[in-house]
Structure 1
């Protein structure tokens, strides 16, 4: 791979666009200084961007800025982005590193839908979850993790849309208790499911946002309580948070 852009003008055009995205609206003189180019070269770059519809000049201030065409271009990319293609390699690696089952879910109404599952090859206990099956938000780590990224009014609305059943003796059916857990998850960056959905199973979960910043996804690590001890949870937490960071940076 070449270490230098073979088309120098393209290098300068994209540098101008990136600079405008950070500092614009900006005058020709100020942009020239930012780019470390003379005014005539900077003006040609701007004229080219304006011609292609990627930049504009305010008729009153004479300052330059990016146009909405750039936003439309990014939206086209984001709309066809397959979230599973993005997260799958990270979740596979996480399952292999921890030796546990990893789930990935998407918000759908007041429930989460399993859209990916990486079953641990070392796991002698099979989780009851299946791709396509649903889990209520109020009794799951993924539900708390997604709720942690929402406004309280939205959390309350989702809570009211649920039918709260005691799936196990640990299931939370009180809103104030649930909200306390969500706030704890928001503070810590992760949520826990302490046998609330399935007796004998504990989970660690973190939420992910979509390209619009909405809390729509989450992934979790699930294991039998015999393995998912408090000590083991503390060992796994840094791994989960690191994967979340890598996915968000890579996406």
Structure 2
């Protein structure tokens, strides 16, 4: 089995320290990694020579990440395929609950479904890959709307009246704002018959490297199978699925 090179591991350990701090001194690196002063100095000099770190003059000298790391990150991000990654995670979540799983993105005041994995139970649903639905009527949409800042949400609400899909749909702008505050606090949204009277749904946000909600994942099931117990289980399942996909998109909890 190939040997792991300790010096490379230590160099990577140093670079990963900057995920939490914009700048670090040699002493801080030494203390955080419990490495000898000479080893830290040699590694910092080497990383600086290749421009992976840039030294900032001062007392003491501080180091920050260099441009090559941005270039590597951009190259990785450019090769990420949200749909491809989402399909795999959605299949795993669907297999765990045997209910329909969706992944959707926000487009103005609507959501567009990118991925749908059906349950083994035949169920007629309003959702389909490529279909557009009013965001405020869906769990995925409400999660994504809750991530908008005030100006962004204002822009969405100014696009027109909040048309309902069922009698349960939220059609009052102020009522929606209050509802989204609860979604933001809880980290998940529910569709209680708001897009389809016969269905229930729970959704969580999928975040990218910047912490922005770029998509949402949901589990949907007919009322007959939606119980207090399954709601708890499926909420945790969709949280986990969204977290897994977020991690694949480069999200770290500290980045938000």
Equivalence map 1:7-46=2 (5 Å): 7-22=5-20, 25-46=23-44
Q: Equivalent residue for 1:86?
A: 85
Q: Does residue 102 of structure 1 match 2:122?
A: no
Q: Does residue 182 of structure 1 match 2:176?
A: no
Does the Cα contact within 8 Å between 2:86 and 2:115 map onto a contact in 1? no
Give the superposed CA RMSD: 2.4
Equivalence map 1:234-249=2 (5 Å): 234-249=232-247
State how far apart, in whole Å, the 1-side matches of 2:19 and 2:95 are: 40
Q: Does residue 223 of structure 1 match 2:214?
A: no
State how far apart, in whole Å, the 2-side matches of 1:30 and 1:234 are: 43
Q: Equivalent residue for 1:76?
A: 75
Q: Deviation string for 1:27-86 (max 9, x for gaps)?
A: 434434444444333222122111111112223435131333223322331232112333
State how far apart, in whole Å, the 2-side matches of 1:29 and 1:220 are: 46
Does the Cα contact within 8 Å between 1:21 and 1:66 map onto a contact in 2? no
Q: Equivalent residue for 1:171?
A: 169
- The 4+ residue runs of structure 1 with deviation greater than 4 A are 20-24
Q: Equivalent residue for 1:193?
A: 191
State how far apart, in whole Å, the 1-side matches of 2:171 and 2:27 are: 62
Change in 2 beyond 3 A, CA 1:101/1:31: closer
State how far apart, in whole Å, the 1-side matches of 2:229 and 2:34 are: 54
Change in 2 beyond 3 A, CA 1:48/1:89: same
How many Å apart are 1:101 and its aligned residue?
Answer: 0.8
State how far apart, in whole Å, the 2-side matches of 1:140 and 1:29 are: 51
How many Å apart are 1:24 and its aligned residue?
Answer: 6.2
Q: Determine helix, strand or coil for the equivalent of 1:226.
A: helix
Q: Determine helix, strand or coil for the equivalent of 1:94.
A: helix
Structure 2 portions without partners, runs of 5+: 250-256
State how far apart, in whole Å, the 2-side matches of 1:166 and 1:29 are: 60
Change in 2 beyond 3 A, CA 1:59/1:240: closer
Return the TM-score normalized by structure 1: 0.86
Structure 1 portions without partners, runs of 5+: none
Q: How many aligned residue pairs are there?
A: 248
State how far apart, in whole Å, the 1-side matches of 2:180 and 2:244 are: 23
How many Å apart are 1:100 and its aligned residue?
Answer: 1.1
Q: Equivalent residue for 1:205?
A: 203
Return the TM-score normalized by structure 2: 0.85
